[in-house]
Structure 1
Amino acid sequence: MTESATVNRTYKLRSGRVTPGQRRALGTLADRFAIPAGDAPLDLTELFGRDAPVVLEIGFGMGGTTLEMAQADPRTCLIAADVHVPGVGALLRGVHERGLDNVRVLHGDGAQLLEQRIPPASLAGVRLYFPDPWPKARHHKRRLVDARFAALVADRLVPGGRLHCATDWEPYAEQMVAVLAAEPGLELEHGGPVERPAWRPETKYETRGRAKGHVVADIFARRPAPASA
């Protein structure tokens, strides 16, 4: 279930206790809900057993927001990727307990999955909520949202597909806006950051950020649909 590393790592591995329930979920539910191992491009229709819009979420923490959004929109299928073992276990358990059939889980790097196994023009959306901001200047090169990532997302989205980023680190929000505005395969929406839309649940991470006085920015970019003749 874990993808091999071929691109630069843009996250910090966190230690954390795996509860007995999470461990059971990892052992018993992965065969049903996990992304199959391998290097071959994914057949998204086969993966979910139906032809439906597919969204990739890169980094989901403990999976609470992921579960809420998947349950609220059962017609959209979701690939959720994270490297944090307790979170993967928690999400697998939550998917099972809620009876969701529109979620598949990757214990691994979602950016690598996007690069290596997601076919071009196949995703209805990419979600990136509160990625590591790498605040120190010497670490800015580790930020996920850069020109290379923007071009990759543009290639993997269907025409009209959307990238949705959220961050509570203002300098990173500024970088996201600049990068996405410069990518010819994407159109920055709203001219820049907007407030959290009502349909995106507030995460525990952003609640803590707001308590510290951080400004949360939601940023959208869309792959343009081809011009009609």
Structure 2
Amino acid sequence: MTDPTPTPLPQDSASPAEAAPKDRRRLPPPGVEFPKTIKSFVKRAGRTTTGQAKAFEEFGPRFVLPYTPSAINFEAAFADSTRPEGQKGAETPPVVLEIGFGMGDATAHIAALMPSTNFLCCEVHEPGVGALLKRIGEQGLTNIRILQHDAVEVIDHMLPEGSLDGIHIFFPDPWHKTKHHKRRLIQPLLVAKLAARLKPGGYLHCATDWEPYAQQMLEVLNAEPLLKNTADGYAPKPDYRPLTKFEKRGLRLGHGVWDLVFVRK
């Protein structure tokens, strides 16, 4: 008859809790805590094309800035940007931060439309960075600089308070499921940081095609004491923001798009 008494584990064997893969996945390595801050991005799968890789090689050294945990020197970062004729020696050009530019369509369009404004753009998605670099080369743009890094850390460590003239956040991930709403980018803590980094009169422009997220954005932005809405609710689409191909398709299908434009008091 088999002895029902369980055989004790050897001294150097893993305990059942340590041995279960499911349990191990829930625990961080010894001495390491899970991050508790919200990231401005989620890594997406994607393949960098040959053209994008070539653009990285050719234009990356000039237009992609290294992340450093110290205040950025805008004059040095945009030192070789070309100013329109008649603007040489003028006052320091305005700087607009863009968070999450995707494949860079709108970014390149706006930068071409506003050549006397410098654009500091954050995106971690490598194909998107490559695509924007490709557009920079094709269109001869000089007023864009890219930080391939989490925008929250860029805001915290590289951007002093009162240093920005504008901020663009177009179509951030809406995180549709209720349990994922905490992952949304537009949250009170981040909005407070953004508002503090705007100069008085500087603007924050957000856009989304998901109405429940638009409602949350409006609530969060209205609650920030440093910001004032430029409209009675949602704003008309500013002329500088182009329609994306997804937006055009959505409008044809009857879907809405909501713009919110607030200014620093």
TM-score > 0.5 by shorter chain? yes
SS in 1 for 2:147: strand
- Divergent runs of 4+, >3 A: none
8 Å Cα contact 2:52/2:134 also seen in 1: yes
Equivalent residues in 2 for 1:55-204 (5 A)? 55-204=96-245
Name the SS of the counterpart of 1:140 in structure 2: helix
What is the percent sequence identity of the aligned residues? Answer: 45
Residue among 13, 16, 23 paired with 2:53: 23
CA contact (8 A) 2:40 2:150 kept: no
The amino acid across from 1:218 in the alignment is: D
Residues 6-59 of structure 1 show CA distances to partners (whole Å, capped at 9, x for unaligned) of: 842243322112111101112232110012232111011221127210001101
Q: Return the TM-score normalized by structure 2.
A: 0.78
Amino acid at match of 2:72: L
2:64 to 34, 43, 54: 34
Cα shift readout 1:99-130 (whole Å, capped 9, x = no counterpart): 21110012222233122211110100000000
Query: Under a length normalisation based on structure 1, what TM-score does the superposition of the two structures give?
Result: 0.90
Which is worse superposed, 34-43 or 74-83?
A: 34-43
User: Where does the alignment leave 5 or more consecutive residues of structure 1 unmatched?
Assistant: 225-229
SS of alignment partner, residue 29 of structure 1: helix
Amino acid paired to 1:187: K
Task: Single out whichever of 155-164 and 36-45 deviates more from structure 2.
Answer: 36-45
- Letter of the 1:179 partner, please give it: V
- Alpha-carbon distance change, 182 to 80 in structure 1, aligned in 2, over 3 angstroms: same
Mapped to 2, the partners of 1:129 and 1:145 lie a distance apart of 11
- State how far apart, in whole Å, the 1-side matches of 2:67 and 2:36 are: 15
Q: Which has the larger radius of gyration?
A: 2
| Number of residue pairs the alignment of both structures matches | 220
Q: Distance in 1 between matches of 2:251 and 2:209?
A: 8
Q: What are the superposed Cα offsets for residues 164-208 of structure 1, whole Å, 9 maximum, x if unpaired? A: 000011111111111111111111220211232222101123224
CA drift of 1:211 comes to 4.2
Higher relative contact order (Cα pairs below 8 Å, separated by 6+ residues): 1
Alpha-carbon deviations, 1:62-97, whole Å to 9, x = none?
111111100111000001111211110011121122
Q: Secondary structure at the match of 1:119?
A: coil
Segments of structure 2 that go 5 or more residues without pairing to the other structure are: 1-34, 82-91
What is the CA–CA distance in structure 2 between the aligned matches of 1:56 and 1:204, rounded to whole Å? 23
Q: Which residue of the partner structure matches residue 217 of structure 1?
A: 258
For 2:254 and 2:150, how far apart are their aligned partners in 1? 30
Q: Which residue of 2 aligns with 1:14?
A: 44
